Amino acid sequence: MLARSEARTREPLDLPGAVLIAIGFSLLTVALSFGNAWGWASARLLTCLAIAIVALVTAARVEQRARHPIVDLALFRQPVLASSLGSMMLSMLALFAVSFMLPFYFEELRGFSVARAGFLLTPLPLTIAVVAPFSGALADRIGSRWLASGGLALASMGLLLLSRLDANTTIAQIVGCLVLTGLGQGMFQSPNSRALMNAAPAGQQGEASGLLASARVVGQSLSVALAAAIFTTMGGASAGLTLAAARAAAVSPADVVAVQHTFLAAFRGALMACAGLGAIGILAALVRGQDRIRDAQGEAVGLHARRANKRRGDQ
């Protein structure tokens, strides 16, 4: 007969904390997304930024006093957990923009079809899918510190190489840059997630998993907003539309060289900013120190001993 599981009480929602966190991150994303249209010194943008900062600071104070906080700030006292969470958000800020920026390069500068552009993006996720399981298994043996920091270093190098793309870059070179970026991202993700979950205190793995997912989503959202803000402000968006219109009108390539230069300057500016964020993520991964390494043999011996003790108790 199966033992009856203990009933779990449902904790009340920390509504003030949830509202403040939602307001803070929403307005921060809005400010980055519409900064170019509103003007970076406009009253509307500065108001959004001010409210976002006040909301997030207030949310931290509310969470410290809440009986059932959405985010237990005591978790951030764990250096490995805090480092893993910070490096995860920075990696998403740096790397998610690649899938956002490259379609503009493929379709507007190079004139590729939507289907071809989508196909050329596949080396990145495929490489991540192949590398991530191996890096996770390796992290069980040597820890996450050097795998996570080395992976982010490779991914940042891939971003720098992608920022050097131009109108004459070969498909093989593009694929090589994407494979390098995917290799670094795959090396980083599994070990970093493993380190965060292992650092969470017993009984708080669920909350740690929620923080990890939140850091990923917030990083992705802000990555797109930041890359779009830089690309648009530097004239890349309008240059891309001009290039697409010129191609449809069969304008001579010599007449669009200046527009291509504007597009590439904006494209490179966005990716280089992302590479800089990736470099900061490397430092965040390095400061964590050595995390716990799973000892498979020790676990097997301990499991065998526990089973033996249980059999003796049953007898």
What is the structure's pLDDT at 211?
A: 84
What is the structure's pLDDT at 254?
A: 61
Q: What is the pLDDT of residues 199-223, one digit of tens each?
A: 887 777 777 888 888 888 888 888 9
Q: Which residues are within 8 A (CB) of 100 and not within 5 positions of it... i.e. 6 or more apart?
A: 223, 224, 227, 228
Q: What is the pLDDT of residues 225-262, one digit of tens each?
A: 899 989 999 999 999 988 888 877 766 666 678 899 99
Given pLDDT bands bounded at 50, 70 and 90, which one contains residue 100? very high
Tokens 């250096």 correspond to what residue? Answer: 79
What is the structure's pLDDT at 310?
A: 47
Given pLDDT bands bounded at 50, 70 and 90, which one contains residue 11? low
Q: Which of 108-112, 115-119, 139-143 has the lowest mean pLDDT?
A: 139-143
Per-residue pLDDT for 67 more than 90? no
> Whole-model pTM?
0.79
The amino acid at residue 256 is V
Mean pLDDT within 144-156: 91
Closest CA to 273 of 224, 308, 235, 213: 224
What is the structure's pLDDT at 176?
A: 96
Structural contact between residues 149 and 88, judged by C-beta atoms closer than 8 angstroms: no
Given pLDDT bands bounded at 50, 70 and 90, which one contains residue 305? very low
Per-residue pLDDT for 16 more than 80? yes
- Count CB-CB contacts under 10 A for residue 50: 12
What is the structure's pLDDT at 261?
A: 93
Given pLDDT bands bounded at 50, 70 and 90, which one contains residue 153? very high
The C-alpha R_g of the chain, in whole angstroms, comes to 24
Q: Which residues are within 8 A (CB) of 201 and not within 5 positions of it... i.e. 6 or more apart?
A: 75, 78
How much of the chain, in percent, has pLDDT values that exceed 70? Answer: 86
Mean pLDDT within 280-288: 87
Mean pLDDT within 130-141: 90
Distances (CA, A) of 4 to 1, 8, 9, 307: 9, 12, 15, 21
Per-residue pLDDT for 9 more than 60? no
Mean pLDDT within 66-93: 84
Averaged confidence pLDDT in the chain: 83
Q: Which of 10-19, 82-91, 219-228, 292-301 has the lowest mean pLDDT?
A: 292-301
Q: What are phi and psi of 169, to 5 degrees?
A: -65, 135
Cα–Cα dist 180/100, whole Å: 18
What is the structure's pLDDT at 145?
A: 85
**Quick one: residue 25, left, alpha or beta (phi over 0 = left, psi -120 to 50 = alpha)?**
alpha
Given pLDDT bands bounded at 50, 70 and 90, which one contains residue 287? confident
**DSSP code of 295?**
-
Cα–Cα dist 240/219, whole Å: 26
What is the structure's pLDDT at 80?
A: 85
Cα–Cα dist 219/110, whole Å: 29
What is the structure's pLDDT at 55?
A: 92
What is the structure's pLDDT at 244?
A: 84
